[in-house]
A = this chain, B = another copy of it.
Amino acid sequence: MSVTAAGGFRAAGVAAGLKLSGKPDVALVVNDGPRHAAAAVFTSNRCKANPVLWSERTIVDGRLTAVVLNSGGANCYNGPDGFQTTHASAELVAELTGGQAFDVAVCSTGLIGQPLDRPILEAGIRAAAEVLSADGGPAAAQAIMTTDTVRKEAVATGDGWVVGGMAKGAGMLAPALATMLVVITTDAVADAATLDAALRTATTTTFDRLDTDGCMSTNDTVVLMASGASGVAADPGALAGAVTRVCADLAEQLWHDAEGAHHDIRIEVTGAVTGADAVEVARAVARSNLFKAAVFGNDPNWGRVLAAVGTTTAAFEPEKIDISMNGVTVCRAGGTQLGEPSGAVDLTGRDVHVLVDLNEGGQTAAILTSDLTHDYVHENSAYST
């Protein structure tokens, strides 16, 4: 039931007509309280969409009563009218659900630079407000899909409380959250500071470790709202754990549904001196188009892994690096010792595990990425046409 798994929330998803396909494109998630604590994190892209500019301001006081989301338009770099559309949509949600516009976060996804049709969006919001329900989570999750092929929902349970969430995103997944809209709800009693800490803990090791194509969105938003409807005060550590489980679950779903991907590649780095080194090395490999194209061809080309490692500033010596692919150690000590034959590596399945052992320290990290395929090129060369 995703965002309506937790008590105190209603949601809806409707087809307003923003998408030419006629598919659902406006979602609304309302927190009926009794509490309205909230936290959010946003894209680190310096070119931000109007809904991000708006929502960054609304979250400052740690309070939200609703989130309105639309697919079918990013509302980004389309002139001053775009920001006014975001503002107007928040005002309308507040009017319809009984709150203040500044307590309504707004999320949009779609093409940059195109006008977002305000009358259509507003009609959609009115329609969604009319069908808000305590089991509207799946409809909301459906309405935020763009090139997603499946809905993304997750739930985790705590001691007397629940955390649920929904996400969209299949391309542009990258550092620091990329076109990804995520709404997470809980009925635990928790203040905004606790929610903020839990959310940042969770995203750092989940969405931030997903890097399917190295591109960063202008619209990424992850919102966490707490209704307090369970009446149970959550232990901060337990809450952070549950939020992390939901984020990890959603991140894996985004990974498996990445645009055009034929392989889900987990780049794991061990033996790093620092966690930051491990992340840097894993991300460098995840961003090598040559490596990702090789995986598409089921080719265990570990030289391209090594070449990517060499572009980093991490502490390592080339002749100490071991690389294994799907359990076969194809490179030992940077090639100075005989590795197992590349022919023993089977990359024909969906899952690819690349393990890079720097043999320098005790830190580890993993980045989730995808292969570079004809389908990725096709989907992204034909997206706006």
Question: What are the residues of chain B within 8 A of A380 when measuring CB–CB?
Answer: 289-290, 293-294, 297, 372
- For A279-322 the 0/1 string (1 means CB < 8 A from B) is 00000000111100110110101111011111110001010000
Instruction: Count this chain's copies in the assembly.
Output: 2
B385/A299 in contact, CB under 8 A: yes
A77/B297 in contact, CB under 8 A: no
Question: What are the residues of chain B within 8 A of A310 when measuring CB–CB?
Answer: 45-48, 216, 218
* A48, A74, A287, A293 — most chain B CB neighbours (10 Å): A293
Report if A384-B113 is in contact (Cβ < 8 Å); known contacts: A45-B311, A218-B307, A310-B48: no
Question: What are the residues of chain B within 8 A of A294 when measuring CB–CB?
Answer: 380-381, 383-384
- For A108-147 the 0/1 string (1 means CB < 8 A from B) is 0001110000000000000000000000000000000000
B296/A377 in contact, CB under 8 A: yes
- Minimum C-beta distance from A96 to chain B (A): 29
B297/A213 in contact, CB under 8 A: no
Question: What are the residues of chain B within 8 A of A288 when measuring CB–CB?
Answer: 214-215
| Stretch binding the partner chain, chosen from A152-160, A239-247, A330-338 | A330-338
Other than the given A45-B311, A77-B331, 9 more pairs (CB < 8 A) read: A47-B310, A47-B318, A76-B335, A77-B334, A112-B307, A113-B330, A215-B289, A289-B289, A301-B384
Provide 20 A-B residue pairs closer than 8 Å at the C-beta atoms, listed in order of the A residue.
A46-B312, A47-B307, A47-B310, A48-B310, A77-B303, A77-B331, A79-B336, A112-B307, A113-B306, A214-B287, A214-B288, A216-B307, A217-B307, A218-B307, A294-B384, A297-B380, A299-B382, A372-B377, A374-B377, A376-B377
